[in-house]
């Protein structure tokens, strides 16, 4: 694997210099949205959302992790962030090292997102949560949007022909 920082977009295939090993394919459950079935979301060994399975949209156009309002509120409480105006939720930056990873389980495979990914550092003092209420899908069953916070951590391949990720 290459050690360069940043992201790469590749069309028409997979460059194996960026990824080695087996790809874990997940069928798309809703065409045109890159939506998939997700098993659960857990933290500290406890399921905290998506208890009976739910849907997730992998969205390269979103910087955040979006979910149903009540689930996002629960996560914000679990990681001890405080509302700091508008849509911002803040936590002291020194707390990042003590926060647990959030684990998204998709097709039986755990995809951990560490606090260093879901908390955004903006200064030495205050850092901000990247969790947001899901406005776009609020009238549907539990649907999450996994934006760049998640996607930066994992090599993703979008297969249009066999609708799968």
pLDDT tens digits, 28-56: 998 778 999 999 999 999 999 999 999 99
* Domain residue limits at 95: 36-107+115-151
Residue 134's pLDDT is what? 77
* Residue 146 belongs to some domain of the structure: yes
Say whether pLDDT at 6 is over 80: no
CA distances from 15 to 11, 41, 150, 157 (A): 10, 30, 20, 10
Q: Return the CATH number at 136.
A: 2.40.70.10
* Residue 13 belongs to some domain of the structure: no
Contact 75, 133 (CB under 8 A): no
Is the pTM higher than 0.85? The answer reads: yes
* Residue 160 belongs to some domain of the structure: no
Residue 1's pLDDT is what? 45
* Residue 7 belongs to some domain of the structure: no
Q: Please, what is the average pLDDT of the chain? A: 88
What is the Cα–Cα distance from 84 to 126, expressed in whole angstroms?
Answer: 10
What is the Cα–Cα distance from 77 to 92, expressed in whole angstroms?
Answer: 14
Say whether pLDDT at 116 is over 50: yes
- Non-local (6+) Cβ contacts of 96 within 8 A are 115, 116, 119, 121, 127
- Total domains in the fold of the chain: 1
* Residue 11 belongs to some domain of the structure: no
Say whether pLDDT at 151 is over 60: yes
């Amino acid at each position: 694997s290459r050690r360069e920082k940043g992201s790469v977009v590749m069309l028409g295939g997979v460059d194996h210099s960026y990824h080695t090993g087996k790809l874990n394919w997940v069928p798309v459950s809703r065409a045109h949205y890159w939506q998939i079935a997700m098993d659960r979301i857990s933290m500290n060994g406890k399921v905290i959302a998506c208890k009976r399975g739910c849907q997730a949209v992998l969205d390269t156009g979103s910087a955040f992790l979006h979910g149903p309002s009540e689930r996002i509120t629960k996560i914000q409480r679990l990681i001890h962030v405080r509302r700091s105006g508008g849509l911002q939720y803040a936590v002291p930056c020194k707390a990042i090292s003590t926060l647990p990873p959030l684990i998204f389980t998709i097709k039986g495979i755990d995809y951990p997102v560490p606090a260093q990914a879901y908390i955004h550092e903006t200064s030495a003092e205050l850092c901000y949560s990247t969790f947001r209420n899901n406005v776009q899908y609020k009238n549907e069953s539990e649907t999450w949007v996994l934006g760049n916070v998640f996607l930066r951590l994992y090599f993703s391949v979008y297969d249009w022909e066999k609708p799968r990720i």
